[in-house]
Amino acid sequence: MPLVHRARREDAFVTGWQRAGAEGSFVVSGRWPAHHPFFPPVDGTYDPLLVAETMRQAGILIVHAGYAVPVGYQFLLSTFRYSCATELLRVDAGPADIDVLVQCSDIEWRKLRPQSMRIAMTVRRGGNVVARGLFVAKFISPSIYVRLRGERAVPRTWVSDAVPVPPAPAGRTRAEDVVIAPAAEPGQWLLRVDTTHPTLFQGRKDHVPGMLLFEAARQTAQVLHAPSPFVPACGEIAFHRYAEFDSPCLIQAERLPSQGAVRVVGKQDGAPVFSSVFTERTAAACVPVGAGQPA
C-alpha cells in the first residue's frame, strides 16, 4: 500500500477515495479490524491511536492521489491533533466500516505542486461522527530532503538495548511493543527504538517516525495511570526536530490540573523533540500544546 506508506496490508486502514463537491474536499473509505496486533481495543473501545493513524493514512492518500505528490516525497508533520467520541467506538464482533471526510486548505504551491497544507478530517461510523482530527504537513522531494538532512539522510538499522517498562503498566501485552524504558531518575523514561518492528517501521528510515513518538507519549501517560486503563480520547502532538537513532531521547511526563490530562515531552541532547498532551475520555476537552515545526 505505497499510497498510505504501509508495506503490510493489515496495517493499512483506508481502502479507497473519491472527490467530494467542494474544492479540496474528499471522502476516504476505511475499515477497522476487530483486533489488530499493535492497535488492540482499549477498555472495550477502538484504540484512539488507531483512529489517529487512520486519519494520518487518509491524509497521506489524498496528498498522493488527490494532489499528485509523488510517492517517495517525505511527508513531514509539524502538528497533529485528534478528538474521539469514545462512547461511539465500542468494538463489535467483526470489522467496522468507516469513512473519513477530508478537507484540505492553506495550500502552498511550488511549480504546480503542493509543498504544504492543512488537512482537517471527520471520521464517521454508521452515520455518526466518531472523531475529528487536524494536521499540518510539508512534502519534500528526495533531493531536497538529502540536502536538508546531510549525512544523516542514510537509512539505518537500530535496536535499543534499554530494558523496556513491563508491558502491563504501559498498556501492552507484548514486550516487543513497548517503546519506553525506565531512565535513571524517577518520573523519566527513555525512548526505545527497534527498526525491525513490523508495524512501527515499514521501510527503512533515517530517523524515528512520528507514529512511534506518539505511541511513546501514550505509553508514558498510561504508566502514570497504571493499573487503571488510560483511554486517550483527545491527543495533540507537536514535532520540534528530528528524533535521531543514535542519541538518547529522554521523556518526561506530568499530570495537568485539567482532569485526566497528561503532558509528555521528549528531549534529545537537551533540545525538545516533541511535546504532547493526552486527555482521557472522562475529561471535557483537549489541552492545546501549541504549534510546532516540521520534523
- Contacts with 226 (C-beta within 8 Å, 6 or more apart), sequence order: 168, 169, 170, 171
- Cell 511527508 belongs to 75
pLDDT value of residue 293:
37
**Is CATH 3.40.50.150 the classification given to domain 2-146?**
no
Over the stretch 150-185, which tens digit does the pLDDT of each residue have?
999 999 899 999 999 999 999 999 999 999 999 988
Neighbours of 148 (CB within 10 A): 14
More confident residue, 48 or 186: 48
Is residue 214 very low, low, confident or very high in pLDDT (cuts 50, 70, 90)? very high
Is residue 1 very low, low, confident or very high in pLDDT (cuts 50, 70, 90)? low
Q: Residues 102-126: what's their mean pLDDT?
A: 95
Over the stretch 78-100, which tens digit does the pLDDT of each residue have?
999 999 999 999 998 889 999 99
CATH class for the domain made up of 155-279 = alpha beta
Is residue 287 very low, low, confident or very high in pLDDT (cuts 50, 70, 90)? very low
pLDDT at 281 over 80: no
Answer for the pair 216, 191: CB distance below 8 angstroms, yes or no: yes
Is residue 149 very low, low, confident or very high in pLDDT (cuts 50, 70, 90)? very high
Q: Where are the domains of the chain?
A: 2-146, 155-279
pLDDT value of residue 282:
60
pLDDT at 117 over 90: yes
pLDDT at 288 over 50: no
HEC string of the chain equals CHHHCCCCHHHCCEEEEEECCCCCEEEEEEEECCCCCCCCCECCECCHHHHHHHHHHHHHHHHHHHCCCCECEEEEEEEEEEEECHHHCECCCCCEEEEEEEEEEEEEEECCEEEEEEEEEEEEECCEEEEEEEEEEEEECHHHHHHHHHHHCCCECCECCCCCCCCHHHCCCCHHHCCEEECCCCCEEEECCECCCCCCCCCCECCCCHHHHHHHHHHHHHHHHCCCCCCCCEEEEEECCCCCCCCCEEEEEEECCCCCEEEEEEEECCEEEEEEEEECCCCCCCCCCCCCCCC
Is residue 295 very low, low, confident or very high in pLDDT (cuts 50, 70, 90)? very low
pTM for the full model? 0.93
Is residue 291 very low, low, confident or very high in pLDDT (cuts 50, 70, 90)? very low
Q: Which residue type occupies 101?
A: L
- Cell 520540534 belongs to 240
* Mean pLDDT score of the chain: 91
Closest to 264 measured CA to CA, from 250, 249, 273, 275: 275
Fold match between domain 2-146 and domain 155-279: yes
Q: Residues 224-233: what's their mean pLDDT?
A: 93
Q: Residues 201-223: what's their mean pLDDT?
A: 94
